[in-house]
Amino acid sequence: MSIPSLASIHDALLVDLDGTLIRGTEAIPGVADALEQSGLPVVYVTNNASRAPADTAAHLRDFGFSAKADEVMTSAQAAVVMVADLVPAGAKVLVVGHDSFRELVRQAGFEVVTSADDRPDAVLQGLSRELTWSDLAEGCLAIRQGVPWVASNTDATLPTERGLLPGNGSLVAAMRTATDREPLVAGKPAAGVLKAAAELARSNRPLVVGDRLDTDIEGAVAAGMPALMVLTGVHGPTDLMAAPPARRATHLADDLTAVNVADEDFEIATAPDIAGVEHDGTLLVMGIPDHLDHTALARAVIKHCWAHELNRVDASSPAIRSRLVNAGFVVG
């Protein structure tokens, strides 16, 4: 029986950037061509609030992606929409973040202020690599005045070509500690940003593609959308195996090029069965079909563990252990 490609059964791709399309200053090989070959509308959905939509699109074009400003949905845009429901038009807003974030706030008709002494009506926070202690201090003082606080996202880390660096979530954690307050979150995993992206693409059958369980995948689950988790960024098979239902992808593949592959089933729920014994939260794998490649094996193990509420995997022989390790699992 022929298996259709993911691109043929969906009508849009809602695609994460960092860890899915790019890593720092490097494009992930093959993904730009894969988006073009899919023939689908693409919305680039990013929790990175340090660039304006036009700058994000230009940044992607530098990597070979055919991106336009009106195909970009940032967490900063979502935060501005959210704050508009919390404060009156023209209200004062203190932005702890990048200048492009401030410009989005101005374009929405708000007055941007830079100090807590200006008595802001709300605080918006997003990632900026130029952020200083003074910026955080002003935000802290304003938040302590009791005004609404909206974080563009809470990604703890940012994938780069050098490794994982502090993300906006790390800075939000500092503000949380200093204020004893909890922010509202605009970007993924909130469902709103993905639903807005689907509306932008006029999509009824979107596929979310991302690398992070706590943002991309949790956001897709919250929005009721299928999600392809790719292994080019933050999280891997062991993380997905141990994930709660709110963070479980429907599909798993090495990278985004999988969307165009026919006759290969990337769905976890329909993965082949493997021989195993369950004990004390661990799956002891007893046998693996020879024809399974490493990603197919990962899907099979994850399917089994989810069905039996297991969160660890072990092997009955060195040969099986080697195959599990090659599939991306921490064994034992």
Question: How many angstroms from the chain centroid is the CA of residue 232?
Answer: 12
Closest CA to 237 of 223, 225, 249, 222: 249
Catalytic residue among 11, 16, 99, 239: 16
Amino acid in position 44: Y
> For residue 26, what are the contacts with CB-CB under 8 A and spacing of at least 6?
161
Q: What are residue 53's DSSP bridge partners?
A: none
18 is an active site residue: yes
- Catalytic residue chosen out of the listed positions 18, 135, 214, 216: 18
Residue in this structure with the two tokens 């479980």, named with its chain if needed: 248
DSSP state of 22: E
| Cβ-based neighbours of 270, under 8 Å, separated by 6 or more | none
296: nearest Cα among 272, 318, 313, 319: 272
Lookup: tokens for 75: 């967490």
The reply to whether 16 belongs to the active site is: yes
Half-sphere exposure (Cβ direction) of 320: Cα atoms closer than 13 Å: 18
Rounded CA separation 179/293 (Å): 49
Where in the sequence numbering do the catalytic residues fall? 16, 18
